[in-house]
Structure 1
Amino acid sequence: MTVTEGQPISAAMTPAEAAAHVVATNPTFAVAPAVIRGTTFKTFKNIPATVPALMAAGRAQHGGGALDYLLYEGERWTYGEFCSEVNRMAQAMQSAFSVGKGDRVAIAMRNYPELLTLVLAISATGATVVFVNAWWTTSELEYALRDSGARLVFADGPRAERLASLVTPLNLTVVGVRDGEAQASQSYSAMRDSAFSDQPPEVSIDTDDDFAVMYSSGTTGHPKGVVQTHRGAVNAVFSWLMMAVMAPLVTPPAPDAPPAPRPSALVVTPLFHVTATHPLFLLSLAAGAHITLMRKWDAEEAVRLIEGEKITRFLGVPTQSAELMQAAAAQGTTLHTLDYLGSGGAKRPGAQVAELAKAFPNAGIATGWGMTETNALGIGMIGDDYLKRPESAGKLHPPLQELRLLDDAGREVPIGELGEITVKSPANMRCYLNKPNETDEVLQDGWLRTGDLAKIDQEGYVTILDRKKNIIIRGGENIACLDVEGALHRLPEVREACAFSVPDLRLGEVVGAVVQLRDGCTLTCAQVAQALEGQLAGFKQPQFLWTQHTPLLRGATDKIDRRGLRKVCLEKHEETT
């Protein structure tokens, strides 16, 4: 496998021309139709068929296995050492627990190196990885384990403690990892050391077999188990890899430019979510990238690691980008090795884009939209395109995806009108686990209805305005919460903002908002109305405003918890009326 084949190009191409050129000239990215579950999709025809094959094929990109691959708090692995440990754990799982096709094996831990090893080891046996949220309570863990049917769980200390009361009723086997080894009946290190071989197990895995169950961050009720296939994951990986191959065709480097450095990524978000697993970890296998794990987010430590390890790629939620910018400024550095600074999981405030570009002049400031249901593949943009359109999500990543914006009746809306983002690609999930009705609601003939409302312009740039369920309907007028929040973010007094509906006897709903103010600032509804006059339509103005100087409430993925904030604010409102 190589990603550098094709004819040298000196003149700049448009992104569309670059995509067509790469598909036509580089065999790695050749596209062919494939029938998946009765529907025809565009797929890469020459890429590895499964996630374990992705690891094996990536060895050449990592110096035949000799290059450093993984760093965690002073512990280092070459790619060869990492692959050897993956294979030993796969052999150990087969030997000790007869793990194989049809089984589901759960991972419950913070961002430890063993989590990466286990994702690939479980996959290598033909079993399905079940990612559970490391921040979940015992009852939430119980739901996911019952839902998935996983009976073998690898857990660190805090998770092993929360699982203790579930071992007997769920008939669990808990394998302790790191600080969990003393609390569990089995230990990761003992299993690894007992393996008789570091060769990959001989297992037949189909490209459309299940790779993982990853639970979405639902804010009401139980989360949904998103079932991802091997084909879905590897096609997403090679879509991103193709973007990297296209980049020098769109923006050719100077003739005397030095060779691009080896890619190196800092993982700062939880590995039980797609933002970290897919476009960072899984992509690193094929891209020949180095991976550095952070035990927990710390902006000052992130600056130290980026400088010390020559990190080139940073992908986190918007608050992490903002905190990294502040920490870098405090330490007097522009983090010159960064060439990519992306945002995922939540929309970055538009005003932050230019600030980041100024703070990190060598980095391409990027944004992306993707879902657990799409293996994180979706829409994005970087650099000048993003600076010109800081409120946009970007364009559809080529070449496999198709996009439609649909109304409630399933009809495609005209350019410039609001519709639901609906995507078709081999990266789409297979289903929601054990939820056929919910699956049928969102998956139709290969098309995934995402629930995100957006507009698309003549050039193909998509601007996401809200989730369907985050629309405020005021007297028949639809108001996108993100529209209100974007306006509030432009006020100098406001650090963060969240809008939501407030019940109203006359209009049905009116706009309410809670904001985090900058230190020493105050703000009233009247002041907001005055400041936003001419910028935000009168019917969109917040009629109720709650202010605080502490960060806004967040959920498990560090996204602002809109429903939780709304509940708290409405309770305060009821107490005062």
Structure 2
Amino acid sequence: MASDLDRKFDETLAAVTGPGGRIQVELDAQGRPFVANFPGTLPALFRTFCGLNAQTEAVVAGSERLTFAELNSLSERLARALAARGISKGDRIAIAMRNCPTWIVSYMAALKAGAVATLLNGWWQSDEMAHALDLTKPALALADSTRAARISAANVISIDVDLPIEQALAPLLEAGESDLPDIAPDDEATILFTSGSTGESKGALSTHRAVTTGVYTYASHLLTLLSILESEGRPPPNPPRTLLSVPLFHVTGEVPVLLNSFVIGRGMVLMSKWDAGEALRLIEKEKVTYFVGVPTMSLELMTHPDHDKYDLSSLTDIAAGGAPRPIRHVERLQKAFGWAQPALGYGLTETNAVGCSNFWSSYAEKPASTGRAQKPFVEIAILGPNDAHLATGERGEIAIRSAANMKCYWQNPDATKEIFTADGFVRSGDIGYLDEDGYLFIVDRKKEIIIRGGENISTAEVEAACYACPDVAEAAVFGAPDERLGEVPVAVIRARNALDAESLRDFLHATIAAFKIPARFIFVDEPLPKLGTGKVDRIALKALYGR
């Protein structure tokens, strides 16, 4: 039975998105809803909402503060400078930086110049960077000095992001200015990278329509919640501000946090790296109202020894995404931040972060669920044999359909064909079911993927990195539960020569990102157990060593 909040939300959302509402919804050629009265491209989104929110403080980064108008002006100049350097519509521009104002302006400028913003994982090592660059062949790579050192391409420009942004961008702006191209909603906009069960990262390519649909999906739901609060006579006491602590190269950082902030006029307080103590200080100092991160991050806010030293009363919403949040965390969250509303989201890189959401009292009532489909823009299906849509309560693979779905995997038609169903749903690789109220419950994972604190890790990739060590005879990697990170990779190793965990860990540090390196190494003398197919029996190994 639908809760009072769900009924009120549905009624208010219908008014917000219905005839005469603030958001006008139409269907695309595939019958998928999209917002028709908001800008359909990212350059138009930036120009429109930076104009509407011109004097609002958009970015706080240390001592640097920029309004939305300043972001728009700087990105316009940089876009024209990129065009003067020969960047053409459809070229890829890779961005590899820590969270900083220069990342945001570079992203805006690349899109305004008609390029495809190609977001490199800032934690990658040289081999991982090389794979992404070889796959996408960007015309230009913009990187901070730390990431530039990991990129061997000749077309990389190293930017000193510790300088004030005008000084940081000065070498790029010297190119002069050229005209910018016209951009259409169906033009290609972004490439984000996702780890697959087969190993190397794939590039999820999205159009402007897909990305903006993802943004407006979140914006419409926030407008609905705001309308509910206002109708109850309890509007938010502080202007919206978010702590931008998740990486901008992740879809969560890019779509619901960064881009959505332009639409709703929300200030962004940037963190270059996660530190729970610093986060608490910034929440008090900058009167942050909204926090989102992987569940590990909110757990660290709750348990930090300085938690009670700060005034955190401005914080009204604490959301999580990227990984499951244990039910026990929800209970602890309500005790530690009794005045703040909890929320949880579920989406994919391939869906531009849209999928399901669970919030406020509904989340407290169903803390094991990742929520309902983000209507009217999202459909959730549970797939059975031959992609048949299963009934309420039946378990199958979760699939998502919306106009926010990516276009394809970059230059990978086989993987693209595999992830899309014939009726346009994206397969998630997760197993779950829908209850009678439409709430989604995730119960298992179909792919050989480990989610460590919100970072997807391919077991095949980590195993391949282990096998590159000449002293490894056999390797198998699986995920084991972890109270703080959700799960962590564990490697079972049969060595051919003398080998210990420290030596293997040092070897792996040179080839894969630190978050992919197993938390535990288990060395065995006997050959690893095999299935009838000859593959290593991970289930048996997990049963033996996964606790």
Q: Measure how far apart 1:80 and its partner are.
A: 1.3
Structure 1 residue runs of 4 or more that deviate by more than 6 Å after TM superposition = 553-559, 572-577
Aligned to 1:130: 118
Q: Distance in 1 between matches of 2:181 and 2:360?
A: 43
Q: Does 1:204 align with 2:182?
A: yes
Alignment of 1:476-555 (within 5 A): 514=480
CA contact (8 A) 1:176 1:187 kept: no
CA contact (8 A) 2:378 2:402 kept: yes
Q: Distance in 2 between matches of 1:432 and 1:348?
A: 29
Q: Does 1:154 align with 2:142?
A: yes
Aligned to 1:174: 156
2:346 is matched by which residue type in structure 1? Answer: W
Q: Does 1:49 align with 2:43?
A: no
Match of 2:357, SS state, is strand
Q: Distance in 1 between matches of 2:351 and 2:87?
A: 27
Q: Distance in 1 between matches of 2:481 and 2:206?
A: 37
Q: Measure how far apart 1:379 and its partner are.
A: 0.5
2:71 is matched by which residue type in structure 1? Answer: F
Aligned to 1:285: 262
CA contact (8 A) 1:343 1:367 kept: yes
Q: Does 1:300 align with 2:288?
A: no
Aligned to 1:448: 426
Aligned to 1:384: 361
CA contact (8 A) 1:334 1:360 kept: no
Aligned to 1:3: none
1:177 is matched by which residue type in structure 2? Answer: I
Q: Measure how far apart 1:377 and its partner are.
A: 0.8
Q: Measure how far apart 1:287 and its partner are.
A: 0.6
Q: Distance in 2 between matches of 1:245 and 1:513?
A: 38
1:316 to 271, 276, 293: 293
Aligned to 2:487: none
Q: Does 1:189 align with 2:177?
A: no
Structure 2 CA distance for partners of 1:557 and 1:341, relative to 1, 3 Å: farther
Deviation per residue, 1:90-145 (Å, 9 max, x gap):
011111x2112120010111112111101110000111011111111111111111
Q: Distance in 1 between matches of 2:177 and 2:139?
A: 24
Q: Distance in 2 between matches of 1:291 and 1:102?
A: 29
Deviation per residue, 1:512-532 (Å, 9 max, x gap):
9856589xxxxxxxxxxxxxx
Aligned to 1:410: 387
Structure 2 CA distance for partners of 1:556 and 1:260, relative to 1, 3 Å: farther
Aligned to 1:109: 97
2:391 is matched by which residue type in structure 1? Answer: P
Aligned to 1:239: 217
2:224 is matched by which residue type in structure 1? Answer: M
Structure 2 CA distance for partners of 1:228 and 1:570, relative to 1, 3 Å: farther
How large is the Cα RMSD of the aligned pairs? 3.3
Aligned to 2:16: 22
Aligned to 1:32: 26
Give the paired residue count: 476
Aligned to 1:350: 327
Aligned to 2:500: none
CA contact (8 A) 1:350 1:390 kept: yes
Q: Measure how far apart 1:207 and its partner are.
A: 0.1
CA contact (8 A) 2:355 2:380 kept: no
Structure 1 window deviating more from structure 2 (407-416 vs 225-234): it is: 407-416
Alignment of 1:244-263 (within 5 A): 244-250=222-228, 254-255=232-233, 257=234, 260-263=237-240
2:88 to 91, 96, 100: 100
CA contact (8 A) 1:237 1:279 kept: yes
Q: Does 1:222 align with 2:200?
A: yes
Structure 1: segments with no counterpart, 5+ residues:
1-10, 472-480, 486-497, 501-511, 519-552
Structure-1-length-normalised TM-score: 0.76
Q: Distance in 2 between matches of 1:407 and 1:349?
A: 27
Structure 2: segments with no counterpart, 5+ residues:
460-477, 485-507, 529-543
CA contact (8 A) 1:145 1:151 kept: no
Q: Distance in 2 between matches of 1:573 and 1:394?
A: 45
CA contact (8 A) 1:69 1:79 kept: yes
Aligned to 1:458: 436
1:384 is matched by which residue type in structure 2? Answer: S
Q: Distance in 2 between matches of 1:516 and 1:442?
A: 29
